[in-house]
Amino acid sequence: VVWHRADLLDAPAAAEVVAQVRAELLLHLAWDVTPGAFWTAPGNVRWVEASLALLRAFLDGGGARAVLAGTCAEYDWAALQGPCRELGTPLGPHTLYGTCKHATRLVAQALAAQRGASLAWGRIFHLYGPGEQAGRLVPSVARALLAGEPVRTSDGSQIRDFAHVRDVAAGFAALLDSDAQGPVNIATGRPVSVRAVIEAIAAATGNGELIEWGALDRVPGEPPELFADVTRMREEVGFTAGTDLAEGLRETVESWRRGG
Amino acid sequence: VVWHRADLLDAPAAAEVVAQVRAELLLHLAWDVTPGAFWTAPGNVRWVEASLALLRAFLDGGGARAVLAGTCAEYDWAALQGPCRELGTPLGPHTLYGTCKHATRLVAQALAAQRGASLAWGRIFHLYGPGEQAGRLVPSVARALLAGEPVRTSDGSQIRDFAHVRDVAAGFAALLDSDAQGPVNIATGRPVSVRAVIEAIAAATGNGELIEWGALDRVPGEPPELFADVTRMREEVGFTAGTDLAEGLRETVESWRRGG
C-alpha cells in the first residue's frame, strides 16, 4: 500500500495528488460528521464542493469507477413506510447534511453517466464499533456503564439498523468491487430497537440497573422507524453484513473497557 | 457604481473580493451557457462548486439576501401538464445542466435558511434580445433572413415562453428587491409557439419565404409544451414582463441589421 496525503478541502492540492496517482477506483468517505453537530454543520457545503472537485479530478485522470458515501438522511423521513428502498422510497432530506449528500449524488451520478464512468453511492445507516467518537450513542452508554455512572435514555422504542463499522467498511469495499450503479444501502437489513441495543451494551457491562429509561425525550424530527432494505447489497453486490449485534457490541464494550 | 473583478471559478480570489465588498445583496448569474454545449457541459459541475463557495463567502461576510439563477430545465419535462408552477410541478432534470442547477438550489436554500438569510431562485425560461449569442434560435433565424439565406426549421409547434432579455434582467432586479423566497419563475406567462416567434422575425425582416418549415426534426427529449406560471412573480414580486413579443423581436432584428 502506498499512502498519499492531501487536504481534500484544498481543491488544487487534491487535484494534484489525484493527477499523480491516476487511480482506476475512487472510494470517497470524507465529510463533516462531528457528533452532535454534523446535521447542521455548514462545513458540509464545502464537502459538496470538495467531493465534486475530487470526482472531476478523478474522471479527468481516467478513473473508471467511483463509490461515494451517502446517508439514510437522504430519504424523506416524514414519508417512510417500511424499509428504505433505494429505488422506491421518496427522497427529501430534512437536514443540511442530508441535503448536501443528496445534491452531491445527483450531480455525481449525472456527471459519471455522461463521462461513461461507473458510480455507486453507498447509503450508510447507523453504525457502531471500536474507535467510535465518544459522544455517540454506543460509546456514551458503554463508557458510562463501565464507569458505574447512571445513563439517561429515551424510551428506546426507535427502530434502527445498526451495522458494525467493520461490516460497513467491508460493504463499501464489496460495492467498489461490484458493478452496481447508483444508490445502494449499506446496512444489515436486520432492524432493531434502540432499547435492544442499549440492553445488549448493559449485558456486556453488567450495570444495566444504572439505565434510566424514558428520562430523555426522543429527538424531535427523528422518525420512529428508520431501517434499510438490503436487497441490492445482497443480490447485486453479493454482500451481507455478518456481525451479530450482541457479539459486535460485546467486542465494542471490551474495547472501551481497555480504554477505547 | 463601483466594479470589482474576480474569477468566480477561483474560489479564494472570489472570496477575497466578497470579503472586501461585504455586500448586503448578491445576484449571481454566471454559469456555462455556451449555445449548443451547455446542456452537457461538464464545466457546470464547477459552477455548482463556485456558486456554493460564492454564497458561503457572501453569508460569511454578513450578506442578507441572495438571488441565484435557475432554469426551467429543473422541472421534470416528462411530467409536465400545463404551466410550470414553482411549488407544484415535479422537479426532475434530465440534463447535467438542469441537475447542476437543481442541486445548487437545494443546498443554497438549506444553507441560507439555516443561516437566517433570505434567498430566492429565479428560474429562467426562454429568452431573446439584442446581443444574444449568434448560434441561438432568434439570432440564427434573423441573421439568415437578413442575409437572404434559407432557414431550415422544425415544424415550430413547440410551445414556449420567450422573454425579452431586458424583462428577464428587470425581473431579477425586482426579485432581488422583494422578500420572495425560494424558486420564482422569471418569464412572461404568455406562452407562444416557436412558429409564431419565427414568423414574427420573418415579418420584421421581410424574407419569410426563405423559411423551410419542417425541414428539421424536433429535438428529441424536448417537451412539446414548456411554459411558466408567473403568479409568484406577479403577486409576490409585483413584476410583469411587459415587452410585446412582436415589438421586442423587431427591435432585436434591427440590432442584427445594424451588425449585432
Whether chain A has a CB inside 8 Å of the CB on B107: the answer is yes
Question: Which residues does chain B have within 8 Å of residue A9's beta carbon, measured at their own beta carbons?
Answer: none
Q: What is the pLDDT of residue A151?
A: 96
Distance from CA of B232 to the nearest CA of A (A): 23
Distance from CA of A39 to the nearest CA of B (A): 11
Q: How confident is the model at residue A219 (pLDDT cuts 50, 70, 90)?
A: confident
pLDDT digits (tens, 9 = 90+) for B20-53: 999 999 999 999 999 889 999 999 999 999 999 9
Bridge partners (DSSP) of residue B184 are: B122
Closest CA to B201 of B125, B135, B129, B124: B129
Distance from CA of B73 to the nearest CA of A (A): 14
Whether chain A has a CB inside 8 Å of the CB on B106: the answer is yes
For residue A246, which amino acid is it? Answer: A
Handedness of CA A82, A86, A88, A92 (dihedral sign): positive
Whether chain B has a CB inside 8 Å of the CB on A42: the answer is yes
Burial of residue A176, with CB atoms counted within 10 A of its CB: 0-12 exposed, 13-18 middle, 19 or more buried: middle
Distance from CA of A254 to the nearest CA of B (A): 40
A210-214 average pLDDT score: 96
Whether chain A has a CB inside 8 Å of the CB on B56: the answer is yes
Residues of chain B with confidence (pLDDT) below 70: none
Q: What is the pLDDT of residue A8?
A: 96
Q: What is the pLDDT of residue B221?
A: 82
Q: How many CB atoms are closer than 10 A to CB B217? A: 8
Q: Do B110 and A104 touch (CB under 8 A)?
A: no
Q: Which residue of B has its CA nearest to A12?
A: B10
This model of the complex carries an ipTM of: 0.94
pLDDT digits (tens, 9 = 90+) for A85-105: 999 999 999 999 999 999 999
Q: What is the pLDDT of residue B62?
A: 96
H or E, element range at B202: helix B194-205
Burial of residue A219, with CB atoms counted within 10 A of its CB: 0-12 exposed, 13-18 middle, 19 or more buried: exposed
Cα B78 to the chain's mean position, in Å?
20
Q: Do B114 and A42 touch (CB under 8 A)?
A: yes
pLDDT digits (tens, 9 = 90+) for B188-217: 999 999 999 999 999 999 899 999 999 999
Q: Do B110 and A100 touch (CB under 8 A)?
A: yes
- Answer whether residue A36 shows pLDDT above 90: no
Q: Which 68-97 residues of chain A touch chain B by CB within 8 A?
A: 95-96
Distances (CA, A) of A179 to A65, A113, A120, A195, A232: 9, 14, 8, 37, 11
Distance CA B202, CA B214 (A): 16
pLDDT digits (tens, 9 = 90+) for A40-83: 999 999 999 999 999 999 999 999 999 999 999 999 999 999 99
Q: Which residue of B has its CA nearest to A60?
A: B42
Q: What is the pLDDT of residue A6?
A: 95
- Answer whether residue A260 shows pLDDT above 80: no
Q: Are B191 and B225 in contact (CB under 8 A)?
A: yes
For residue A64, which amino acid is it? Answer: A
H or E, element range at B164: strand B162-164
**Nearest 5°: phi and psi at A195?**
-60, -40
Q: Do A111 and B56 touch (CB under 8 A)?
A: no
A95-117 average pLDDT score: 98
A96-119 average pLDDT score: 98
Question: Which residues does chain A have within 8 Å of residue B47's beta carbon, measured at their own beta carbons?
Answer: none
Q: How confident is the model at residue A195 (pLDDT cuts 50, 70, 90)?
A: very high
Q: Are A66 and A58 in contact (CB under 8 A)?
A: yes
3-state secondary structure of B193: strand
Distance from CA of A210 to the nearest CA of B (A): 38
Question: Which residues does chain B have within 8 Å of residue A56's beta carbon, measured at their own beta carbons?
Answer: 42, 45-46
Q: Do A45 and B106 touch (CB under 8 A)?
A: no
Whether chain B has a CB inside 8 Å of the CB on A48: the answer is yes
**pTM of the entire structure?**
0.95
A10-33 average pLDDT score: 95
